[in-house]
Structure 1
Amino acid sequence: MFYVKEALKDGVDVTVEINDENVFCRCPVCGKEIPVDLESILKEGDGDLFGTAVLCDECAKGWMKNHGKKSET
């Protein structure tokens, strides 16, 4: 089990288990809070929790439109 632990004042710790329902991040473009599936991000072996950004669906569509693979015509 993986968990997050935060020390509060007066020596009280809060511990929360990390599971497939409680991991979120903020889209680095618009700031929207989005759920994250850590398994899909880390399964390829090249992702990490510090250097990985997850875009919301709307911003990802915009990014793909501007930076995605160009179709050949």
Structure 2
Amino acid sequence: MFYVKETINDSLEVKVEINDENVFCHCPVCGREVSVNLEDVLGDGRGDLFSTSVMCEDCSREMMEVGHGNGSKAEC
């Protein structure tokens, strides 16, 4: 079991198991909270928790459209 641990004060420590339902990040473009499946993001062994970010669906779609020459802008 992997978990995160945070010491609140000398007498209180919180531990939370990391699972496929409780890992999140913020989209680096619009700041929206994004649910993250760590296996999908880090499973190939090429990423790490410090330098990897995950975009929301809307910003990802916009980037794909711009990359394909569509040029339309999606609202985030």
Deviations 1:18-65 (A, max 9, x none): 000000110011111110000011111101111111000000011112
What SS does the corresponding residue of 1:66 show, helix, strand or coil?
helix
Counterpart in the other structure of 1:2: 2
**Structure 1 segments of 4+ aligned residues over 2 angstroms from their partners:** none
Residue 22 of structure 1 is matched in structure 2 by 22
TM-score normalized with structure 1 length? 0.86
How far apart are the structure 1 equivalents of 2:11 and 2:47? Answer: 34
Pairwise CA RMSD: 1.3
Q: Distance in 2 between matches of 1:10 and 1:51?
A: 31
TM-score for the superposition, normalised by structure 2: 0.83
* 1:53 alignment counterpart: 53
- Correspondence for 2:35: 35
Specify every segment of 5 or more residues in structure 1 that has no aligned partner in the other structure, as ranges. Answer: none
Q: Distance in 2 between matches of 1:52 and 1:66?
A: 22
- Percent identity, aligned pairs only? 55
Distance (Å, rounded) in 2 between the aligned partners of 1:53 and 1:67: 19
Question: How many residues in Structure 1 have an aligned counterpart in Structure 2?
Answer: 69
1:12 positional shift:
1.1
